[in-house]
């Protein structure tokens, strides 16, 4: 068997895509490879059946630093993010791996499945809920939507839905009212369990949307987990969206994203020394806050997308 250690220290959402590539490597070439990983998020590999512990430097072990250059064709070629690492492995190893499922490969242990949801831990009883991420990382402020509009979504469903707000320490996640506030309180594994029990998710383009597809469905669920993604014009929908997602985008609506995603990073420079402050990375903004593509997405559009995910859906006359 060929022994591979796959290394990647990109963001958590990227690592979810690498889990799909490892799964499909083994499904397309059963018994040919042993794999181990070195990544920025080892928690995302817990319970993964495709890993065999190995050490770098062992005889016969090949180490690959993994990337996804296919992203450079994302505006023109009909590929999803899930193809990115797969095509890298195909080129590096001379293979013909093909995706076998339209999602990442996240596993829960039997112990995690036996635990109550983090929301049940808080209230002392099971409750249905949606997860909301109302902010983002400082390196990609172009992905931020208005806090006021997230709040409008929460307020519209106040008597029908419980929203659980999450957000990582060190990122921008302004507080919302009338939510269960779990910002800075969830480890990556707790977040996986939170997604496992959730009914739906509202978020920008971020890890959470990939987990919405990759985390297994609870046995009591009969439909796919809903996810409303406030995306704007940065990424083409065919590269990011999953079948059960409502991907609110503006591709084709503005000159800057007329034929695909602009792939820019920030609306205004932050002066933190990051290369994302370079002029070619910046986007014209509205009143120094939102990029135009995000400003075009109204709270009503997100509310309607959530409403269509709730049973029973009755079309507006």
> pLDDT digit string (tens) for 86-130?
999 999 999 999 999 999 999 999 999 999 999 999 999 999 999
Per-residue model confidence (pLDDT) at position 32 = 98
**Per-position b or e across 183-204, b if 16+ CB within 10 A of its CB:** beebebebbbbbbbbbbbbbbb
Q: Which of 36, 42, 38 is nearest to 54 (CA)?
A: 36
Q: What is the DSSP letter of 164?
A: E
- Write out the two tokens for 301: 């559009």
Mean pLDDT of 82-86: 98
User: Higher pLDDT residue, 281 or 246?
Assistant: 246
Question: Does pLDDT of 218 surpass 80?
Answer: yes
Q: What is the DSSP letter of 144?
A: -
Per-residue model confidence (pLDDT) at position 49 = 97
Arch. (CATH architecture) of 113-307: 3-Layer(aba) Sandwich (3.40)
Run of H or E residues at 36: strand 33-39
Q: What is the DSSP letter of 120?
A: H
Per-residue model confidence (pLDDT) at position 226 = 95
Question: Does pLDDT of 208 surpass 70?
Answer: yes
Mean pLDDT of 16-22: 98
* 307 burial level (CB within 10 Å; 0-12, 13-18, 19+): middle
Please answer whether residues 281 and 256 qualify as being in contact, where contact means their C-beta atoms are separated by less than 8 angstroms: no
Q: Which pLDDT band, with edges at 50, 70 and 90, does 222 fall under?
A: confident
Question: Does pLDDT of 287 surpass 70?
Answer: no
Residue 40, CA distances (Å) to 85, 166, 221 in order: 16, 20, 31
Q: Quote the CA–CA distance of 283 and 25 in Å, as a whole number.
A: 38
The CB-based long-range contact list for 260-263 (8 Å cut-off, 24+ gap) reads 260/74, 260/75, 260/76, 260/236, 261/74, 261/75, 261/233, 261/234, 261/235, 261/236, 262/233, 262/234, 262/293, 263/234, 263/235
Q: Which pLDDT band, with edges at 50, 70 and 90, does 312 fall under?
A: confident
Per-residue model confidence (pLDDT) at position 149 = 97
Q: Quote the CA–CA distance of 237 and 250 in Å, as a whole number.
A: 9
Question: Does pLDDT of 194 surpass 90?
Answer: yes
């Amino acid at each position: 068997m060929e022994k591979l250690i796959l290394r990647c220290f990109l963001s958590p959402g990227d690592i979810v895509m690498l889990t799909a590539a490892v799964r499909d490597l083994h499904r397309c070439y059963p018994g040919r490879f042993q794999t181990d990983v070195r990544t920025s998020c080892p928690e995302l590999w817990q319970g993964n059946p495709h890993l065999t512990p190995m050490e770098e430097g062992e005889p016969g072990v090949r180490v690959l630093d993994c990337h996804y250059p296919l992203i450079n064709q994302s505006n023109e070629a009909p590929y999803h993010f899930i193809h990115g690492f797969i095509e890298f492995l195909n080129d590096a190893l001379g293979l013909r791996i093909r995706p076998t499922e339209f999602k990442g490969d996240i596993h829960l242990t039997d112990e995690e499945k036996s635990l109550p949801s983090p929301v049940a831990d808080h209230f002392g009883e099971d409750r249905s809920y949606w997860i909301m991420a109302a902010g983002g990382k400082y390196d990609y402020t172009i992905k931020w939507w208005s806090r006021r509009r997230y709040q409008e979504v929460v307020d519209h469903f106040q008597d029908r839905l419980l929203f659980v707000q999450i957000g990582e320490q060190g990122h921008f996640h302004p507080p919302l009212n009338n939510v269960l506030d779990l910002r800075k309180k969830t480890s990556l594994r707790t977040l996986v369990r939170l997604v496992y029990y959730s009914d739906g998710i509202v978020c920008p383009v971020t890890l959470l949307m990939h987990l919405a597809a990759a985390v297994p469905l609870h046995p009591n669920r009969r439909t796919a987990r809903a996810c409303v993604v406030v995306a704007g014009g940065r990424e083409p929908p065919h590269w990011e969206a999953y079948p059960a997602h409502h991907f609110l985008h503006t591709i084709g609506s503005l000159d800057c994203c007329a034929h695909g995603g602009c792939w820019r990073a920030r609306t205004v420079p932050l002066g933190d020394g990051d290369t994302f402050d370079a002029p070619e990375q910046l986007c014209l903004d509205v009143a120094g806050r939102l990029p135009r593509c995000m400003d075009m997405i109204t709270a009503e559009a997100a509310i309607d997308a959530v409403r269509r995910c709730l049973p029973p859906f009755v079309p507006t006359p």
